[in-house]
Amino acid sequence: MKARNKVTIFCPFCKGQHIDEGLYAIKPHTVHLCFHCGEKFKVTKPTIGVRLDSNMTL
């Protein structure tokens, strides 16, 4: 997996940080489920949500 797929993602609805876990932390995907507000949101490129100290933010 390419490191550029790992990004810091924030929910567009509640602004909570999204961190992927389990299987979702392995395979990049475009639809993410916010653990804070329960809304699903889509990003343009397949990504994996990582902790805030990563090198890229969406």
On average, the pLDDT of the chain sits at 89
Render pLDDT for 30-55 as a digit per residue (tens, 0 to 9): 999 999 999 999 999 999 999 887 55
Residue 4, pLDDT score: 75
Query: Which residue, chain included where needed, has tokens 């933010």?
Result: 57
Residue 1 pLDDT exceeds 90? no
Residue 24 has φ and ψ, to the nearest 5°, of -70, -15
Share of the chain above pLDDT 90, in %: 79
Residue 17 pLDDT exceeds 80? yes
CA–CA separation, 9 and 49 (whole Å)? 6
